[in-house]
Amino acid sequence: MPRSPVTIQQADFDLSAEVAALRDGDAQVGAVASFIGTVRDRSEGSSVSAMELEHYPGMTERAIESMIDEARQRFHICSVRVIHRVGALMPRDQIVLVVVTSAHRHDAFQACEFLMDYLKTQAPFWKKETTPDGARWVDARQADDAALARWGLKMDNAA
């Protein structure tokens, strides 16, 4: 029974270890594409000193697993790994990892971007930033809805 491709955790992650695990024993892989999202120290014109990430346990994993199923319908990919951190994070910390392996680069690049566009607007995570004016919930961006719409998916989040 293979482990789930999705992990929600407080702990940090290691890109090299995750790539190695995904490639292990799979000689069909000819391309590995990865994305890491990190915490910025500025947002909407304010400095950010800390971030708290909340999620909906259970729904989060289900939502991302169904995104991976959708990616498999659209692209020729071998395997996928998604790790998203929750809890207290600091500027420069890693937040999210998406790794996709494929026979060729085009599908790996595309699937990685597709999964991030999908996750940004459809996975139940919420960020709260600490700024000099106090803590505030981050507003969803319509640009993220537009990014998902490029793939032919009209599923508004921010609007």
Partner 1 sequence: MKIQVRYFASLREALGSQEAMDVEAGTTLGALRDQLIARGGEHARCLARGRAVRSALDQVMADDTAPLHDRAEVAFFPPVTGG
Q: Is 116 in the site for partner 1 (CB under 8 A)?
A: yes
**Distance of closest approach, residue 123 Cβ to partner 1, in angstroms:** 5
Q: Which is nearer to partner 1, 23 or 65 (CB)?
A: 65
x-or-dash pattern for partner 1, window 119-148, by CB under 8 A? xxxxxxxxxx--------xxxx--------
Q: Report the site for partner 1 in 50-69 (rule: CB under 8 A).
A: 53-56, 58-59, 62-63
* Complex with partner 1: residue 29 or 147, whichever CB lies closer: 147
Q: Which stretch in 23-31, 70-78, 100-108, 114-122 sits in contact with partner 1 by CB under 8 A?
A: 114-122
Residue 31: Cβ within 10 Å count: 16
Q: Is 134 exposed, middle or buried (0-12, 13-18, 19+ CB in 10 A)?
A: exposed
Query: Does 149 participate in binding partner 1 (rule CB under 8 A)?
Result: no
The residues binding partner 1 (CB under 8 A) are 37, 53-56, 58-59, 62-63, 84, 95-96, 116, 119-128, 137-140, 155, 157-159
